[in-house]
């Protein structure tokens, strides 16, 4: 079974630009979550999508947005990039059926560098 895939793996952008990152969950998984990892703030939850609807949201500005498609693939978008947006963006997927037994599987991440 293929794992969670994220594209692209590396990205370099300049301030003010926008960027779109993609995540393909494990087949059959309906929940996709996004996390930002930086040396200063660590791993922070961005948002979760389930059945094409945002189910949870972290404390990030509106420049960070996402969506999920009917095949459960998800994209996140960051507009008006700032230097502080440089980070590893991780995507995780889960079946999201039984909380007591569910498990999130993480992708390899997209390394975004903002110059």
Partner 1 sequence: AQKVTQAQTEISVVEKEDVTLDCVYETRDTTYYLFWYKQPPSGELVFLIRRNSFDEQNEISGRYSWNFQKSTSSFNFTITASQVVDSAVYFCALSEAVNFNKFYFGSGTKLNVKP
Q: Kindly list the residues in this chain that would bind partner 1 in the complex (CB under 8 A).
A: 31, 33, 35, 42-45, 48, 55-56, 58, 88, 90, 92, 94, 96, 99-100, 102-109, 111
Q: How far is the CB of 113 from partner 1 (least distance, A)?
A: 14
Q: Which is nearer to partner 1, 1 or 99 (CB)?
A: 99
CB of 85 to partner 1, least distance (A): 17
76 near 89, Cβ under 8 Å? yes
Per the structure block, which two tokens stand in for 62?
A: 């509106």
* CA separation for the pair 20, 89 (Å, rounded): 11
- Minimum distance from CB of 35 to partner 1 (Å)? 7
CB-nearer residue toward partner 1: 86 or 104 = 104
Nearer to partner 1, 13 or 45 (CB): 45
Tell me the closest approach of the beta carbon of residue 8 to partner 1, in angstroms.
14
Pick the closer one to partner 1 by CB: 62 or 100. 100
Distance CA 83, CA 41 (A): 14
**Nearest alpha-carbon partner for 78 in 15, 38, 18, 16:** 18
Segment holding 83, helix H or strand E: none
- The region that residue 102 occupies, defined by phi over 0 for left and psi between -120 and 50 for alpha, beta otherwise, is beta
């Amino acid at each position: 079974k293929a794992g969670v895939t994220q594209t692209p793996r590396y990205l370099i952008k300049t301030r003010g630009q926008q960027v779109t990152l993609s995540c393909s969950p494990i087949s059959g998984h309906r929940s996709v979550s996004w996390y930002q990892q930086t040396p200063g703030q660590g791993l922070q939850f961005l948002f979760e999508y389930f059945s094409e609807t945002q189910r949870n949201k972290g404390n990030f500005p509106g420049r960070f947005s996402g969506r999920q498609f009917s095949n459960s693939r998800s994209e996140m978008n960051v507009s008006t990039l700032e230097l502080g947006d440089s980070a590893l963006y991780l995507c995780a997927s889960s079946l999201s059926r039984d909380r007591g037994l569910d498990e999130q599987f993480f992708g390899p991440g997209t390394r975004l560098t903002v110059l």
